[in-house]
Structure formats: C-alpha cells, structure tokens
Amino acid sequence: MEIKILGPGCPKCKSLEKMTREVVEQNGIEATVSKVEDIVAIMNCGVLSTPALVVNEKVVLKGRVPTVDELKKLLVN
C-alpha cells in the first residue's frame, strides 16, 4: 500500500502525518508513507484543501484531520 500525506507543513498536516505513521505501525499495515509538500503536486491531485490523505493514488480524505478510528478504517479497508 502506498500512502501519501499532502500538505505544505502546517500543524494539521504534521498531525495527520504523525497519526498515519502511528496507525500503520500499531496495526501492522504494510505500507510506504510519504509526505508531499510541493503545492503544484498537491494541486495536481485535485486537492485544494489540506491536509489530504491519498491511498494507492486515490484521495480518500481532504481538508481535515480524522479521528484515529476513522483513519484506521480508511487504511484497513
């Protein structure tokens, strides 16, 4: 699984990245987690509101930080 956190580096973006890495580790999810801060790359994904979460090239969340349970459901399913 490939997971990308899209965001310029604001506190919400950093929070989503930290939470995503923790959920992946705690649940034994085999995934590559990366952070994309380039605004052009973010816009090319069709995202205008950050933070955003991309799983296997599909935007599954944008514009907010999810709860831990919500994030877990997005990554496990």
26-77: pLDDT as tens digits: 999 999 999 999 999 999 999 999 999 999 999 999 999 999 999 999 998 7
Topology given in CATH for the domain delimited by 2-76: Glutaredoxin (3.40.30)
Question: What residues does each domain of the chain span?
Answer: 2-76
> What predicted TM-score, i.e. pTM, was given to this entire model?
0.92
In the residue annotation, 45 being an active-site residue is answered as: no
pLDDT of residue 54: 97
pLDDT of residue 20: 97
Q: How far apart are CA 27 and CA 42, in angstroms?
A: 27
Q: Which long-range contacts (CB under 8 A, 24 or more apart) does 16-22 make?
A: 16/51, 16/53, 16/65, 16/66, 17/51, 19/65, 19/66, 19/68, 19/71, 20/53, 20/71, 20/75
Active-site residue, selected from the candidate residues 5, 13, 53, 61: 13
pLDDT of residue 64: 95
Active-site residue, selected from the candidate residues 1, 10, 39, 41: 10
